[in-house]
Amino acid sequence: MQPTSTELRFDVEKVRADFPILGLRPHGKPLVYLDNAASAQKPRAVIEALRRFYESENANVHRGVHYLSQLASERYEAAREKLRRLLNARDAREIVFTSGATDAINLVATSFGQVFLKPGDEVLLTQMEHHSNIVPWQMLRDRAGIVLRVVPVTDAGELDLATFDQLLTERTKLVAMVHVSNTLGTVNPVKQIIAKSHARGAAVLLDCAQAAPHLRIDVQDLGCDFAAIAGHKMFGPTGVGVLYGRAEWLDRMPPHRGGGNMIKSVTFEKTTYADAPARFEAGTPPIAGAIGLGEAADYLMNLDFAAATSHEAELLAYATEQVRTVPGLRIIGTAADKVPVLSFTMDAAHPHDIGQVLDGYGVAIRAGHHCTQPLHQRFGLASTARASFAFYNKREEVDALVSALHHVNEVFV
Ligand code: PMP
């Protein structure tokens, strides 16, 4: 097959060479990794940074006076600066390292919730939220008496913006929503939503876990108040993530956890807290993870992102067209603006059976509810199969997916 114009511009084989795991052959077949929305693979630079840290830089941060502790502290703070650059935050103080996107959202629910949300105040969510942007708010509702409102999703998998306009009132104190849906692939019009929310006096938290691997997130341009990032989904290590928070908020928010590293002074009578971001980083932080994540941020900054994005768009268009040749297959999520995430059902087989047959061909997809049960209920489903792409995937892998899907029909019909 002739390479397409985008593949000529975006050298996918060169990029693939940066990801050692893509050379695996599960069950004797070339790995076709299409489970990127669950966790993305890591470039060699990230793996090397972790190895280097443990081999020659490892110590705890911010405590020691010795060589290694200073080195580890420098590397950790340098990683914070790399994340600041990637997200275009004004100040590195606005970058809090967390254990993931879930942890970042819980931080906001607990800390922002404690000070800025009163009984009866409304938090606006959407029907396409990941459980990690639903459950923390329900816990706060049960604790503090806030009211949750939910923006519905259309049949195409887009937000019902007319209903959003109705639900956004002077009672709304926070809009907490996903930037990009991990199940539908929908890219929400967040800039417009943020402007409207601010005009009504509501702050905005964006769950950018699925956006970060596909879009440039410029928090100043978007104007969001908070953004949650999952390290492992943007080609970084597991166990680390970021909360971006505007300094005006973080400076006024109380710590959500107490312990070492987050204090100025402690007596049994009274403790005073460190400034942000340390105030929100109690205990030993994920030092190696943060350093690895900084490397992933550099990798993304050095990538020809425009070419990578158009390669992804081409993969999505090709995959969407090709899976439609599979009898009985129905795509869930047909928004006009999508990242390459393709969820679907098949008449012939349950999503788990689809996943199992595909695994036999070396094709890794996800089957289940993808932590979006309310969204699946909206579509009358308990689960879907999901093929999710990254910039290192290629057209031949779409062909492998589609050929394996035809085999599913042969096995089950
Ligand atoms: N939000 C979305 C949209 C996600 O896709 C995920 C990860 N699947 C999360 C939040 C949770 O992120 P983490 O794994 O970092 O806790």
Residues 113-158: tens digit of each pLDDT: 999 999 999 999 999 999 999 999 999 999 999 999 999 999 999 9
pLDDT beyond 90 at 62: no
pLDDT at residue number 402: 98
pLDDT at residue number 4: 57
Q: Which two tokens stand for residue 142?
A: 């049960």
Q: How far is the CA of 406 from the centre of ligand 1 (A)?
A: 31
pLDDT beyond 90 at 192: yes
pLDDT beyond 60 at 391: yes
Domains and their CATH numbers in the chain? 5-39+304-412 (3.90.1150.10), 47-302 (3.40.640.10)
> Could you tell me the pLDDT band of residue 3, with boundaries at 50, 70 and 90?
low
pLDDT beyond 90 at 176: yes
For tokens 């938090």, the residue is 123
Q: How far is the CA of 133 from the centre of ligand 1 (A)?
A: 9
**Average pLDDT of the chain to the nearest whole number:** 97
pLDDT at residue number 99: 98
Contacts of 8 (CB under 8 A, 6+ apart): none
Contact 144, 195 (CB under 8 A): no
Residues with CB under 6 A from ligand 1: 100-102, 130, 132, 178, 182, 207, 209-210, 230, 233, 241, 371
Cβ-defined contacts of 108-111 (< 8 Å, 24+): 108/136, 108/176, 108/205, 108/226, 108/228, 108/243, 108/245, 109/136, 109/137, 109/139, 109/140, 110/136, 110/140, 110/256, 111/253, 111/254, 111/255, 111/256, 111/280
pLDDT at residue number 8: 55
Annotated active-site residue 371? The verdict is: yes
Q: How far is the CA of 410 from the centre of ligand 1 (A)?
A: 35
pLDDT at residue number 64: 78
> Could you tell me the pLDDT band of residue 80, with boundaries at 50, 70 and 90?
very high
Q: Whose CA is nearest to atom 12 of ligand 1?
A: 101
- Given the CA of residue 231, which atom of ligand 1 is nearest to it? 15
Rounded mean pLDDT, 288-310: 97
pLDDT beyond 80 at 188: yes
Contacts of 141 (CB under 8 A, 6+ apart): 123, 147, 148
The pTM for the full model equals: 0.97
- Given the CA of residue 181, which atom of ligand 1 is nearest to it? 3
pLDDT beyond 80 at 44: yes
Catalytic residue among 45, 71, 303, 371: 371
Rounded mean pLDDT, 76-105: 98
pLDDT beyond 60 at 104: yes
- Given the CA of residue 230, which atom of ligand 1 is nearest to it? 15
Q: How far is the CA of 231 from the centre of ligand 1 (A)?
A: 9
Lowest-confidence region among 28-42, 53-67, 258-272, 392-406: 53-67
pLDDT beyond 70 at 349: yes
Lowest-confidence region among 63-67, 214-218, 325-329, 340-344: 63-67
pLDDT at residue number 7: 52
pLDDT beyond 70 at 2: no
Rounded mean pLDDT, 272-295: 98
Mutate to test the pocket of ligand 1, among 98, 125, 134, 182 (most ligand atoms within 8 A of CB): 182
Query: How far apart (Å, rounded) are the C-alpha atoms in residues 101 and 208?
Result: 8
Query: How far apart (Å, rounded) are the C-alpha atoms in residues 1 and 322?
Result: 15
pLDDT in tens, 233-280: 999 999 999 999 999 999 999 999 999 999 999 999 999 999 999 999
pLDDT beyond 90 at 341: yes
pLDDT beyond 80 at 170: yes
Q: Whose CA is nearest to atom 4 of ligand 1?
A: 209
Q: Whose CA is nearest to atom 5 of ligand 1?
A: 182
Q: How far is the CA of 130 from the centre of ligand 1 (A)?
A: 7
